[in-house]
Amino acid sequence: MQQRPLGRSGLAVSRLALGTMTWGRDTDADDAAAQLKSYLDAGGNLIDTADVYGDGDAESVIGSLLGSLVPREDLLIATKAGLRPGGGDRRRDGSRGHLLRTLDASLRRLGTDHVDLFQVHGYDPRTPLEETLAALDHAVASGRVRYVGVSNFSGWQTARAAAWQTAWPGRAPVVAAQVEYSLLERGVEREVLPACEALGLGVLPWSPLGRGVLTGKYRHGRPADSRAVSPHFERFVATYLEPRCSSIVEAVATAANGLGVSPLEVALAWIRDRPGVTAPILGARTSGQLLGALQVERMTLPEEITIALDDVSALEVGYPERDG
């Protein structure tokens, strides 16, 4: 698998990352181990998790596999902190105390003394951004974190964070932005992607398959074993089960049929090769699903198909982003 630099950093990551949102909940430890082995065998090196995935169980599963399945030095671990499920009206917490406390808990579950990328999981309007960023500086200075990033920040929030970190000597630069991005969700192209390009951040798209919808599995209903009928993910998937998204899925399926590949491969190849993208995050529930996704490494979309998919999924852009 090819590697790419993560933004303007010295960190080289594989151009597909492995996500773990279902690990410890819908994906048991044995299947997680099979996924990680398949991913490593394909040349991948970046695994993405968060303190809230499975209430910490995802990180614990990863920790159980370090050493026994993969040497720590052969795997880049990215985790996130800053969300508080069940936290009442404060769903996001970017305070210094919360971030550093959850980082220490993540390290214990992961069974390691550092993570390679530590990301703020969402913008917290109640905490001064300077405090959040100072916590990231401390995490890097203490050796517990190698690089830092943001996740689910808007364009202006991303730009402010990145610019602040480069304005003062000795601060840890923001090198990555993790955002939802796919053929079904291109909103980040308005401002987030231009901000990342201008300030040298690598983009890590989550849900690059449109929450599974771009695989084509929902074209004729909702399979009994799919996320669309899962109590954890039903509302998460339902967002993209509407007419506009269906027309995009049909275009992907048509392209896949013409190329003799799966719709999944077409959708992944499109997002993997978008300008500014470093590594889409594959969030498979089973090892079989992951093996199917890894097949994308064998292909590059023909230019005419890329243009056609750009057109059918085109983002509506108005003032002031529109040129002229």
As given in the structure block, the two tokens for residue 155 are 């364009």
Q: Are strands 3-5 and 12-14 parallel, antiparallel or unpaired?
A: antiparallel
For 87, counting Cβ atoms within 10 Å of its Cβ (0-12 exposed, 13-18 middle, 19+ buried), the class is exposed
Phi/psi region, residue 276 (left: phi>0; alpha: psi -120 to 50; beta: rest), is: left
> Is 147 considered catalytic here?
no
60, 27 Cβ separation under 8 angstroms: no
Angle between helices 243-259 and 263-272 (to 10 degrees): 100
- Amino acid identity of residue 155, one-letter, is G
Tokens 């919360």 -> residue: 98
CA distance 214 to 186: 14
Helix (H) or strand (E) holding 267: helix 263-272
**Which residue out of 39, 53, 181, 240 is catalytically annotated?**
53
The count of other CB atoms within 10 Å of the CB of residue 261 is: 17
Catalytic residues: 53
